[in-house]
Amino acid sequence: MVTAATLGTFAVAALASLFMAWAIGAGSSGSTPFAAAVGANAISVMRAGFVVGMLGFLGAVLQGANVTEAVGTELVAGATLTAPAVIVALLVAATLVALGVFAGYPIATAFTVTGAVVGAGLALGGDPAWGKYQEIGALWVLTPFVGGGIAYSTARALRNERIPERLAVPILAGVVGAIVTNIEFAVLPGPDGSGSIAGTLAGAGLLPTGPLVARLVFTLVLSVLVSLALAREMADDQARGQQRFLLVLGALVAFSAGGSQVGLAIGPLVPLLSDFSVPLPAVLAGGGLGLLVGSWTGAPRMIKALAQDYSSLGPRRSIAAMIPSFAIAQTAVAFGIPVSFNEIIVSAIIGSGYAAASEGGGGVSAAKMGYTVLAWLGSLALAFGLSYGVFTAVDLLLLG
């Protein structure tokens, strides 16, 4: 039986979760997706904050389940998070992220939330989930090298005079189209409750082949259609075609941000949902609403910081930064791994920035990068320490 005290505790935990969602929307998911587009003058700062909020909400509802369940149940072994532990973890993480927003430095949200949840869980008496930590650590370590490396290579290719942009950019659009065709959405049928566009078409029996071959055929066809559409646009106006492609990339990253980052805000609530018969989709919608409000009210400041302070971006470098960002984000969503969009985007911006610097173009701020990396590492350690210490003190008070 749910008592008034238990219900009140859950309400406090839910409010802490909404505060976390607001902080993420104002910082990570709200600022990073369109930072490159703003830097390339493809969209204004205020309009970017509005659009990213709407797309983040949709991503949270349609793709948020995997990371949400991972954050809520897989970061600590041998213990289930209690309402007080959830409150402590979310308040510690949200406070650190909010401080980063107001200070103008992008705190890595995944680092902060993961550290806070693990700290509270271990203080609760749980054991480290080493297997999950290895997955998370591998993605966090590889992201700067993979994302930055792909962005660097793509930017160099786009700056190569021997490769016409009217050919290179549509080919890149085709690659993005192939990825979109194969990512999963909650509204499409699939074996695990969600499906992809290519998988749905392949399962419809439209081709007299096996499902794998059919999926490859539909992926190729849709990819070619996307390439041809952008090629036609660039034939009419090359600059306009580039900017529209960049805006589409920003929209895709914003959608992916909602699918990943909502789990950092509401994931800790998952162990409490069964006691109150609250369906996960309703919680995802609530978290998405928190992201939306955060994007509308706090994201413009961080968008400016990323777009103008980190590097002077042009359309080609922006495209080079956004493509690996989208691919890495969707990989994290698919495997249910909490990931920092600040780390993804900033790493890609650095990679594309060095491509320009190597040819005498605009560079990146080394000092800004150094402070940002220190902020990321410090946020992980600080969130863990504060969450562990605060919950230990709260637990002693409750027992007393």
Rounded Cα gap, residues 101 and 117, in angstroms: 21
Give the C-alpha distances (Å, rounded to integers) separating 328 from 72, 324, 390. 22, 6, 34
Per-residue model confidence (pLDDT) at position 359 = 57
Per-residue model confidence (pLDDT) at position 176 = 96
Give the chain's mean pLDDT.
Answer: 84
Per-residue model confidence (pLDDT) at position 324 = 93
User: 355 with 150: CB under 8 angstroms?
Assistant: no
Per-residue model confidence (pLDDT) at position 311 = 45
> Could you tell me which of 316, 377, 292, 313 has the C-alpha nearest to residue 342?
377
DSSP label at residue 239:
H
State the greatest distance between any 2 C-alpha atoms of the chain, in Å, as a whole number: 74
Q: Which two tokens stand for residue 277?
A: 């018969």
> Could you tell me which of 21, 34, 65 has the C-alpha nearest to residue 252?
34
Q: Radius of gyration over alpha carbons of the chain, in Å? A: 21
pLDDT tens profile 245-304: 988 998 998 899 899 889 998 999 888 887 777 888 889 999 999 998 888 887 776 676
Handedness of CA 135, 138, 141, 147 (dihedral sign): negative
Q: Which two tokens stand for residue 195?
A: 């499906």
Per-residue model confidence (pLDDT) at position 96 = 84
pLDDT tens profile 306-322: 665 544 567 788 888 88
Q: DSSP for 34-85?
A: THHHHHTTSS-HHHHHHHHHHHHHHHHHHH-HHHHHHHHHSSEES----HHH
| List of E strands, 216-309 | none
Per-residue model confidence (pLDDT) at position 197 = 94
Per-residue model confidence (pLDDT) at position 59 = 92
Positions of the chain with pLDDT lower than 50, given as ranges? 310-311
